Structure 1
């Protein structure tokens, strides 16, 4: 009898973890997609108001020169904190030690306030050095843009601590909503600023770009205001938890600081992984292209803007899907480890990987198929830009898998293996960067990322297998089914797209929008229908999809 009860409880716990994963991923994915879509849609008026396409591309290159190092400083100041705090809070909450969880949040705020100030000052001071070694026509312009971003570092670290604290309670909605509010505030400010500077006042491009990047500070103000409101609303509930805390574990202030820092540093390094790869491109692309090609400085700047800026903004929409699942899985895995439920940890990791490919494969491959009309809609027609976006879409699978697996390994206390895997990938990237740029031109920059991240994700997957002994055969069968369904979807989208080109001129923006909308919608329906027909959606998302099948009359 007791064995039956144990099995029943295990089944309930497994379903609970899966439900939390699906629900949390849904919230975080929704917030990320809306935020990323805003980050893509603003580009259309932003570039139009900047001026001609060449001027707009130069502005975008200048924008990226500032944002790539800013992303690194932001990661140093914050990247590991939400996941680290979420992991620690979830762990102690699972033990009933709510008082320690609150202390972790308070100490985390103190630590992040200090790191934010230090990061902001450091970024402001070394801005001229970064600008001088970046593919930009003017060092002074690059310096101005980089410094305009340093202000956001004063606020965002504390905002990240608050997000992590809320996530540690397995509540993902506020984090998702705060992301959207942050992006909305940023986009409204930057578009208003660019319109006033470029259209109304006919001001300089560098001032318009600097105002755009300063929008990160404005967005952060709105976001942290919302998060503090959420904490205020939840305070009665949190106070009750603290009052009922078991208080059987004693943790000193120094231990809390050490715990936060020890947990956060690896998350910071792994969280900066994509940025490290991008910095290699920022500092090596121009020198290598000068050596292996006869391109002018202007052509190099424009090609860098298209590959590192234009295409990157679009693929980050799908990469954010992996980030959403990673954010959701970290506290769940930490919770299961705290209760020593290794079988559930293995199931959770398997579910995370399957859910990743279930969403990521159709998103990335679909983007690759509609790359030409998509690029035309956002940036204007460019055969080169479309080819870069297509290759970037394939690359996004490896980047997204890196984000998910890196966070998963750290949540499972396999930090060293995650760091070694990333270090190997960076070395591989550095080794193949020169020859691939020499052979494939600008496309070589993306190919070197695929090779580097491919090596990293292979090592991470091997580390997860050694720890959990995942059923590889089962995983491969599931992935094969997803690949077949995705291939069928891509074929349908390609056929529809070619038919649409007979009705609309490929270089026309409106025609491309209609083409993309129709072909992507049909492709999405094909994938959804196949996933429901094969019961793949049921196995990954649970019984909640049964109602959708009934509505669509799929047996």
Structure 2
């Protein structure tokens, strides 16, 4: 292997890096939000067609999908994020040919891991179902998705290594679109045309993950073909001073990927801990039937979680964007650039996540009613989960930062500490707080992990927390005001409208969201805080709104 230092890194200005982050974040945020919204909106007709069994169906869906998510993370083996990071590293050194070889060898790795994990999931479905026979066909229906999604995700990571986020964002939306169309069509046919069993509808709804993957693969194939000429030019004009053997490439992919498996699977691991501990713990402290426990489990594991993931997707979009940028800065040994990018991504996280989480808490009653029907318990769990979502979203961002600067070992250690805390306090939390217990345990454990990671970053890079404090306090204040306005609108309108109807919920939520979001946007523009985070383009928005500077 030739010496890497012989290559001349390309200099990237702070402004260019911030522009790339903003552009990438915009694409990934749009793709993630729209796909998440689409993945939540389908719930309205889906729950209606399932009927009185909707909570049972949601619980079954959650049980199958939690296990599937873990296997999918193992099958993708962290390769997409690893490829994104390594490609960005070699591209920063003007060694595009190495990035091309990385992708080709990554395909072999992802195809192999997909096959192994799909096989284990299919033949081990009975074991993973933990005695619930309805879970077995659900798990088997997901094996084809586990087989093909790793290679699809790998291709997304390849594009992200070039800081080209559009293919990933668009394919993500198309994947969700194909998936939702198949889910709704199959559920309507089974429940309304054939008057079949709700378990069959859930099985076809989970099989839709494979249909969605096919749609995504078609879009990625189109973009790969469309950009092939540009990539060939970059490879032809590379320094070509680094020669890496096939085995070295594969071992580098695996070495980089292993931490991504555990870090990326953190949310899935938390959900699996909940799935396998909630029922035995609740069985000891209550005398509820299996059906009643399934309903309670659905409230926090599926119903609230489905809506919270829309908010967390905002953080995921930032995380995907920051990894290749930080990797490129690390390759150039640009410590000041790394410090600035970490501060920037944290500020963007606060800017987006705080008002989104508090806003969701404010409109929790009407939004829960729209998606699932009125439930006081479901609304309370959604409110609490909205705040827990901040910690999960922050974990997504800060762990991505650690991966981007190759601090995988520390990240695994800190995440391991958090998961250990979760396991230790899970049963006591369920015994004391019952259905809220798993959420409380998750919040405490992730707070500890986030603190350890941020403290480590601060020790190494001396993050400018003092300079950030004024802006973060402003964001918090504006987010609280957004919550107050939206909550007052919700409470005021429900004085005159029934809390039980979906139409009334629509009437309530629209002015609450418009006024709440309007207050936040106005304050961010008026204070010029948005300019500091999003750049000079914000001034144009201010002019169009006829706001004085």
Give the shorter-chain TM-score range.
over 0.9
Given candidates 454, 464, 469, the residue that maps to 2:447 is 454
Structure 1: distance between partners of 2:507 and 2:487:
14
Q: Does 1:378 align with 2:371?
A: yes
**Shift in Å at residue 206 of structure 1?**
1.5
The 4+ residue runs of structure 1 with deviation greater than 4 A are none
Equivalent position of 2:506 in the other structure = 513
Structure 2: distance between partners of 1:241 and 1:84:
21
After superposition, what is the alpha-carbon deviation per residue over 1:113-152, rounded to whole angstroms, capped at 9, x for unaligned? 000000100111211111125xxxxx22111111111110
**Shift in Å at residue 244 of structure 1?**
1.4
**Shift in Å at residue 51 of structure 1?**
2.1
- The answer to whether the Cα contact below 8 Å between 2:190 and 2:200 also exists between their aligned partners in 1 is yes
Structure 1: distance between partners of 2:356 and 2:481:
14
Equivalent position of 1:58 in the other structure = 56
Structure 1: distance between partners of 2:289 and 2:74:
35
Equivalent position of 1:129 in the other structure = 127
**Shift in Å at residue 491 of structure 1?**
1.0
Equivalent position of 1:39 in the other structure = 39
**Shift in Å at residue 79 of structure 1?**
5.6
- The answer to whether the Cα contact below 8 Å between 1:68 and 1:279 also exists between their aligned partners in 2 is yes
3-state SS in 2 of match to 1:250: coil
Q: Does 1:526 align with 2:519?
A: yes
Structure 2: distance between partners of 1:168 and 1:270:
19
- The answer to whether the Cα contact below 8 Å between 1:319 and 1:397 also exists between their aligned partners in 2 is yes
- The answer to whether the Cα contact below 8 Å between 1:65 and 1:146 also exists between their aligned partners in 2 is no
Write out aligned runs for 1:269-418 (5 A).
269-418=262-411
Structure 2: distance between partners of 1:545 and 1:103:
41
Structure 2: distance between partners of 1:493 and 1:385:
19
3-state SS in 2 of match to 1:242: helix
3-state SS in 2 of match to 1:261: helix
Given candidates 86, 90, 103, the residue that maps to 1:92 is 90
Equivalent position of 1:16 in the other structure = 16
Gaps of 5+ in 1: 1-8, 134-138
- The answer to whether the Cα contact below 8 Å between 1:79 and 1:271 also exists between their aligned partners in 2 is no
Q: Does 1:114 align with 2:112?
A: yes
Given candidates 462, 466, 473, the residue that maps to 1:480 is 473
- The answer to whether the Cα contact below 8 Å between 1:85 and 1:260 also exists between their aligned partners in 2 is yes
Equivalent position of 1:81 in the other structure = 79
- The answer to whether the Cα contact below 8 Å between 1:79 and 1:272 also exists between their aligned partners in 2 is no
After superposition, what is the alpha-carbon deviation per residue over 1:154-196, rounded to whole angstroms, capped at 9, x for unaligned? 1101101110111111100110000000000000001100111
After superposition, what is the alpha-carbon deviation per residue over 1:8-32, rounded to whole angstroms, capped at 9, x for unaligned? x98x711111111111101000000
Equivalent position of 1:4 in the other structure = none
User: TM (normalized to structure 2)?
Assistant: 0.97
**Shift in Å at residue 503 of structure 1?**
3.1
Structure 1: distance between partners of 2:525 and 2:43:
36
Equivalent position of 1:3 in the other structure = none
Equivalent position of 2:495 in the other structure = 502
Structure 1: distance between partners of 2:403 and 2:191:
46
Structure 2: distance between partners of 1:70 and 1:76:
10
Given candidates 219, 223, 228, the residue that maps to 1:226 is 219
- The answer to whether the Cα contact below 8 Å between 2:77 and 2:113 also exists between their aligned partners in 1 is no
Q: Which moved more, 1:382-391 or 1:497-506?
A: 497-506
Structure 2: distance between partners of 1:521 and 1:265:
44
**Shift in Å at residue 269 of structure 1?**
0.8
Structure 2: distance between partners of 1:451 and 1:292:
22
- The answer to whether the Cα contact below 8 Å between 1:78 and 1:160 also exists between their aligned partners in 2 is yes
Q: Does 1:216 align with 2:209?
A: yes
3-state SS in 2 of match to 1:423: helix
After superposition, what is the alpha-carbon deviation per residue over 1:328-349, rounded to whole angstroms, capped at 9, x for unaligned? 0000001111111110110000
Structure 1: distance between partners of 2:51 and 2:486:
34
User: TM (normalized to structure 1)?
Assistant: 0.96
Structure 2: distance between partners of 1:86 and 1:464:
21
Q: Does 1:258 align with 2:256?
A: no
Structure 2: distance between partners of 1:472 and 1:293:
47
Count of matched residue pairs: 539
Structure 2: distance between partners of 1:495 and 1:202:
43
